[in-house]
Amino acid sequence: MDLFREKALADKVVFIAGASSGINLGIARHFAAHGARVSIVSRSADKIASAAASLVADGFEAIGMAADVRDFSAVEAALKQTHAQFGPIDIVISGAAGNFIAPAAQMSSNGFKTVVDIDLIGTFNVLRGAYPYLNKPGASLISITAPQGTNPMMYQAHVCAAKAGINMLTKCLAMEWGAEGIRVNAISPGPIADTEGMRRLSPTSESDAALKSRLALRDYGTTKDIADTALFLASDNARYITGTVVECDGGCKLGDASPMAADEYVIRA
Ligand code: HXC
Ligand code: NAP
CB of residue 88 inside a 6 A radius of ligand 1: no
Residue 1 lies in a domain: no
Residue 233 lies in a domain: yes
Q: Is residue 83 part of a domain?
A: yes
pLDDT per position in the chain (269 positions), as tens? Answer: 556 666 889 999 999 999 999 999 999 999 999 999 999 999 999 999 999 999 999 999 999 999 999 999 999 999 999 999 999 999 999 999 999 999 999 999 999 999 999 999 999 999 999 999 999 999 999 999 999 999 999 999 999 999 999 999 999 999 999 999 999 999 999 999 999 999 999 999 999 999 998 899 999 999 999 999 999 999 999 999 999 999 999 999 886 555 555 555 566 76
**Distance in angstroms (rounded) separating the CA atoms of residues 183 and 142:** 8
Report the number of distinct structural domains present in the chain.
1
Q: How far is the CA of 200 from the centre of ligand 2 (A)?
A: 12
Q: What are the beta bridge partners of residue 41? A: 17, 65
The CB of 248 under 6 Å from ligand 1? The reply is no
What 3-state DSSP class applies to 64? strand
Q: CA dist 55 to 10, 85, 179, Å?
A: 16, 17, 35
Q: How far is the CA of 54 from the centre of ligand 1 (A)?
A: 26
Q: Which of 160, 154, 162, 139 is nearest to 233 (CA)?
A: 139
Is the residue at 3 inside a domain?
no
| Domain residue limits at 189 | 13-263
Report the run of H or E that residue 47 belongs to, with start and end.
helix 45-57
Q: Please report whether residue 101 resides in a domain.
A: yes
Q: Residue 134's beta-bridge partner residues?
A: 89
Nearest CA to ligand 2 atom 34: 97
Cβ-contact 141, 127 below 8 angstroms: yes
Q: How far is the CA of 112 from the centre of ligand 1 (A)?
A: 9
Q: Is 257 a member of any domain?
A: yes
What is the residue with the minimal CA distance to atom 25 of ligand 2?
197
Q: In this structure, are residues 261 and 228 in contact, taking their beta carbons and an 8 Å threshold?
A: no
Q: How far apart are the two ends of the chain, measured CA to CA in Å? A: 52
The reply to whether 142 falls in a domain is yes
Which residue has a Cα nearest atom 10 of ligand 1? 100
Closest-CA residue to 98 (of 38, 167, 144, 40): 144
- Which DSSP helix (H) or strand (E) runs through 247? strand 245-248
pTM for the model stands at: 0.96
User: Could you tell me how far CA 87 lies from the centroid of its own chain?
Assistant: 23
Pocket test for ligand 1, best of 70, 99, 114 (most atoms within 8 A of CB): 114
The CATH number that applies at residue 101 is: 3.40.50.720
Residue 269 in domain: no
Contact 61, 33 (CB under 8 A): no
Q: Are residues 167 and 150 in contact, defined by beta-carbon separation less than 8 angstroms?
A: yes
CA of 2 to the centre of ligand 2 (A): 30
Contact 79, 92 (CB under 8 A): no
